[in-house]
Structure 1
């Protein structure tokens, strides 16, 4: 590139420089990949800061209050090939003044630890932290934090640990106790973080949920200083508040999932404890309106029109519903739209359908089983169908058939069918999978959550072949929200001739096939899975694998034309399958690891895994195939099968006339 070309590029360049009172963001638009740009910041014709040559052409400067007179920037262009340099013209910047925020003393009186998501902690937690180090989770190794802290050091390569660090979780114990020495330490941590943030850039410094939780801690810290009658010791509170206002009120940074709840909660808490200051950098009134508007939309998007959490993971329904309920009880949300309360009531009524008969959460998606939930409303508060000792319901994208609450656990039955896809956030590739319990014992299990560590195990536990569903050509289905279908459940479960019927359908556009699954269930006795696979890639036959997963203590054996499962609690199950395309093959795996592919693992605790039995039933499809799999759930001698596969048709036993009529409209 010649000098003339560099001059022309510098003259044609667009320089966008924005000063909001604390930070200057300079963005340079140049139509050439061979040019690097540097930027100088001037105050009263004196260079006060420099940003060197780089390719991304974005430069940020922090400005102290005594430096904000007559600011301007100068941009330099350099040819990467021969280092030819051409100066740009000067770009003056406008100044905003009087940025001091004032506290609202009346509001500070009603702020408390619950409002501000401060985890309850006894003084012993402080002693443990000071002696051993920062340990946000029980499974973490304690890590000593010594001032000045390197806030971008990730000693365990653990995303959750980094999130907790930048949420200032180490301060919870000190804020709970809040003596003068505690508040001094809190200010030391805050000042150290601010100092580090001014000199560094990273997604972790302004990670969505961490930022919201930090804002809540700032509000609570200011409240405790007010209670004690002492001045806060944050060295640059204006900057700290301004930057949290800036990030938390930026719609482009608002997380559309449950993390967004904490971003808006933190923002609204700051608008509550800070007085509206007319000529400040931000209007408290505008930010209150923004927070209310976005919170109403976010709660609706989180819980949907049915009141069921839309991230396809029951555990997160409990987490999010509880958090939303706690959040809106905070004094700064008293002006929220009342329609939200009706959605929350629906969400409360959905909860008892998302647990096993032992009241532990079903492990679908990124759900952990967790502890017993005793604060549940009655099942019949949700729209349902009842037959004898059993009850069924559709809960948005889930279908459940189970025993009544009055049935003892050791006589109970429970089937949970997964047909929910609204979001990628906590969904697995588990379309039309289901889990089954009989007598309180797991017979067909979900492989579990594992955790958010980006490794081969996370990849496995997300995969299709880690769930009780169909896999085509050895490839998982997509989790991209572009292909989210909401609910794949046709209608609520129905009981016909004492047989429960559940139906679901998903068109896998990316994988070029349609999967229709019908479940026929006689609790405690018999279960049939009818899988219809329609191939949209007609140029070639395709491999179908039907996957089933069992508890770790189950003894699984392949016998002639069937698979036998016996649990340590003497539950017995026999599995037999047939296909309209060709004979099926049975393959058993347990703790298989070829390096590129894992099969037969379960995760019962965070980031832990252990071998378990997995059954693969293989066949093929050219145009359309039916796979019928029967699960005999009891050693009791059963009558003739409810349904059978004759050629390419499903035939219903004549003993079930209403069910036969129901199937007469099907294209099986």
Structure 2
């Protein structure tokens, strides 16, 4: 292993040297190299946040890292062969050495020398198993895991060199690092289509910059920098929204860029600096009034502050979105946020109209998130562990679980050939009102009983459906949802509205009354009323047969009962419209009028303050 290490650092006569002399030469070279190097910078994880590095490190060393109910510990010797019983996500995190992130970060910040030793023991144990002994495990060389492990291995090796660890351990660590460098430079292994590729390249960049004595280090820096530039351009829209359909992954990727800036890895690359700054601004709009991340795509119910490593927008000391309207025309998201009279975030609407790829994409075109008066009303179901054939995972991804128009009880297509980018056609802010219009030509639907990773071309059911959704929104007053569909064949349509789990539903005289337990009693916070004739109102909660319906997931590995209200009809060309009235105390009357060709629309709401909205082909106005 020592002679192999000499080869890795470019010593030409490594084969002609006996083992004893090889140790002396390697030791001498390491001493010379270390004298010329500055202290290493640890490139910490973009998927974790350590508000108190010392506290996080102590917890990791003493208790481990909790993932999906499994506690990953720093307790070498690790029984690597037994991890196959865990889920994909847990196995990946074990192989990525996620548990070492907090201790290494704390150590790099001067928050505790005692955190380094257990990490080095863990690193050496992995090297003994997978480099020296060639142990096999499916996720040992998983793309993203290799990149994340490389950042920790680079720092660990430098600290081992600085502290004068045994020459045998140093040699093994050098060889292991070189193996990682070679693996990460294999172009066919780079997952350029997803964020995994970015994690791979930051691992390679870290090796190149942290270990400049390796002969391939300069090439690794150039190679990884160019790949990062290419992938960042591919993964972010021109309006700086990450294109993997998940606000949490936008946070992660913004962390990624911010960390590379903070550690000096990309601070001299102007286009990446511009993207990083734009991504931070975009991220400021992704917090709901309660400080949690908008739960679109694979985003759990978690606060933005628990995930962001960059400065967040705050109002009155609380993390929230800025006040006003933010449109991401290419990214495919629209957010409107307004505050109460005390200056606190109160009313919130987020609309999701994007389909850029299959990455973290649920079958959720045109879904939205709605809060009023600080109360969550309509919600995304969240995410579930990445085991795609689990009934719970299949449900969480389904169209019926989202605030969408369910067509023939099937999922919207997520075939690559059906990607449409952004569906947003127009957005108007007129006085107190916001109008959103999006359009998609639907060519295929998919049976929801097939796991998304097993869907083949043959599973696509051919359809020809023009689908236009219009939202009319008056913060704190109402949200009108209009689905205008054209189909040559008769179909079943259901507007689905997934409610927050704390919302109670009562049906009364053609409407659904939504109430919430506040200050010791249930109070009505909204009503849901059909605006077009012939709609059937129904509600499900905690249904298991014949399929799951009326559930959300707050933690990503358990489901929680939550009411889902539907307005349903059958037909070919149909206009399905309903209103969520968020001022039920006004007992307002609503009416919708639409011309036969769909070019003229007028909505009246008569309450304490009347609202009249008119939409013509040439534009919209408030009357």
| TM-score interval, normalised by the smaller of the two chains | 0.7 to 0.9
**1:471 counterpart = 2:423:** no
CA distance in 2, matches of 1:143, 1:349: 36
TM-score by length of 2: 0.78
Structure 1 residue corresponding to 2:529, chosen from 570, 576, 600: 576
CA distance in 1, matches of 2:483, 2:386: 31
Distance 1:653 1:417, change over 3 A: closer
- 4+ aligned runs moved over 6 Å, structure 1: 98-103, 116-119, 654-658
- Given that residues 107 and 272 in structure 1 are in contact (C-alpha distance below 8 angstroms), is that contact kept between their aligned partners in structure 2? no
Please list the CA deviations of residues 424-476 of structure 1 after superposition, one character each: whole Å capped at 9, or x if unmatched. Answer: 22221111011111110011111112332331111111110001110111111
Structure 1 residue corresponding to 2:234, chosen from 301, 324, 334: 301
CA distance in 2, matches of 1:646, 1:338: 52
- Given that residues 358 and 415 in structure 2 are in contact (C-alpha distance below 8 angstroms), is that contact kept between their aligned partners in structure 1? yes
What is aligned with 1:419?
Answer: 353
What is aligned with 1:191?
Answer: 127
Q: Secondary structure at the match of 2:359?
A: coil
Distance 1:197 1:212, change over 3 A: farther
What is aligned with 1:554?
Answer: 503
What is aligned with 1:267?
Answer: 204
Q: Secondary structure at the match of 2:414?
A: coil
Q: Secondary structure at the match of 1:370?
A: coil
Please list the CA deviations of residues 211-247 of structure 1 after superposition, one character each: whole Å capped at 9, or x if unmatched. Answer: 1122112211122123323345145345423321222
Please list the CA deviations of residues 266-298 of structure 1 after superposition, one character each: whole Å capped at 9, or x if unmatched. Answer: 1112112334566xxxx3332221111001112
What is aligned with 1:55?
Answer: none
Equivalences for residues 332-371 of structure 1 within 5 A: 332-335=265-268, 337-371=269-303
CA distance in 2, matches of 1:435, 1:483: 24
- Given that residues 101 and 238 in structure 1 are in contact (C-alpha distance below 8 angstroms), is that contact kept between their aligned partners in structure 2? no
Give the C-alpha shift of residue 350 in structure 1. 1.5
Count how many residue pairs are aligned between Structure 1 and Structure 2.
545
What is aligned with 1:618?
Answer: 568
Structure with more contact order per residue of length (Cα contacts < 8 Å, sep ≥ 6): 2
- Given that residues 409 and 439 in structure 1 are in contact (C-alpha distance below 8 angstroms), is that contact kept between their aligned partners in structure 2? no
Structure 1 residue corresponding to 2:423, chosen from 481, 488, 495: 488
Distance 1:106 1:456, change over 3 A: farther
CA distance in 1, matches of 2:239, 2:209: 31
Distance 1:406 1:266, change over 3 A: farther
Structure 1 residue corresponding to 2:514, chosen from 560, 565, 577: 565
Distance 1:108 1:504, change over 3 A: farther
Equivalences for residues 145-224 of structure 1 within 5 A: 147=77, 149-151=79-81, 153-155=83-85, 157-172=86-101, 175=104, 176=107, 182=118, 185-195=121-131, 198-200=134-136, 202-224=137-159
What is aligned with 2:374?
Answer: 440
Distance 1:195 1:449, change over 3 A: same
Of the structure 1 ranges 457-466 and 634-643, higher mean CA displacement relative to structure 2 is found in: 634-643
Please list the CA deviations of residues 561-608 of structure 1 after superposition, one character each: whole Å capped at 9, or x if unmatched. Answer: 22222222324322222557xx222221110001x5100001111312
Please list the CA deviations of residues 105-159 of structure 1 after superposition, one character each: whole Å capped at 9, or x if unmatched. Answer: 3675232334577974557446635xxxx5443832467966363346323x312
What is aligned with 1:662?
Answer: 616
- Given that residues 533 and 621 in structure 1 are in contact (C-alpha distance below 8 angstroms), is that contact kept between their aligned partners in structure 2? no
What is aligned with 1:593?
Answer: 544
- Given that residues 497 and 566 in structure 2 are in contact (C-alpha distance below 8 angstroms), is that contact kept between their aligned partners in structure 1? yes
Equivalences for residues 4-403 of structure 1 within 5 A: 104-105=33-34, 108-115=37-44, 120=53, 124-125=58-59, 128=62, 135-137=65-67, 139-141=69-71, 147=77, 149-151=79-81, 153-155=83-85, 157-172=86-101, 175=104, 176=107, 182=118, 185-195=121-131, 198-200=134-136, 202-231=137-166, 233-234=169-170, 236-237=172-173, 239-256=175-192, 257-275=194-212, 283-335=216-268, 337-371=269-303, 373=305, 375-377=311-313, 391-395=324-328, 396-403=331-338
Q: Secondary structure at the match of 2:381?
A: coil
Distance 1:291 1:107, change over 3 A: farther
CA distance in 2, matches of 1:135, 1:359: 24
- Given that residues 101 and 274 in structure 1 are in contact (C-alpha distance below 8 angstroms), is that contact kept between their aligned partners in structure 2? no
Q: Secondary structure at the match of 2:134?
A: helix
**1:603 counterpart = 2:553:** yes
- Given that residues 500 and 521 in structure 1 are in contact (C-alpha distance below 8 angstroms), is that contact kept between their aligned partners in structure 2? yes
Gapped regions of structure 1 (runs ≥ 5) = 1-20, 23-64, 68-97, 380-385
CA distance in 2, matches of 1:334, 1:392: 31
Of the structure 1 ranges 109-118 and 482-491, higher mean CA displacement relative to structure 2 is found in: 109-118
RMSD: 3.6
The structure with the larger Rg is 1
Distance 1:99 1:621, change over 3 A: farther
Distance 1:172 1:397, change over 3 A: closer
CA distance in 1, matches of 2:240, 2:190: 22
CA distance in 2, matches of 1:439, 1:416: 15
Of the structure 1 ranges 235-244 and 627-636, higher mean CA displacement relative to structure 2 is found in: 235-244
- Given that residues 325 and 336 in structure 2 are in contact (C-alpha distance below 8 angstroms), is that contact kept between their aligned partners in structure 1? yes
CA distance in 2, matches of 1:639, 1:557: 18
TM-score by length of 1: 0.73
Distance 1:178 1:152, change over 3 A: farther
Give the C-alpha shift of residue 489 in structure 1. 1.3
CA distance in 2, matches of 1:498, 1:277: 62
CA distance in 2, matches of 1:172, 1:665: 53
**1:514 counterpart = 2:457:** no
CA distance in 2, matches of 1:101, 1:160: 42
What is aligned with 2:579?
Answer: 630
Please list the CA deviations of residues 477-506 of structure 1 after superposition, one character each: whole Å capped at 9, or x if unmatched. Answer: 123333222211123x32336432111112
Give the C-alpha shift of residue 516 in structure 1. 0.8
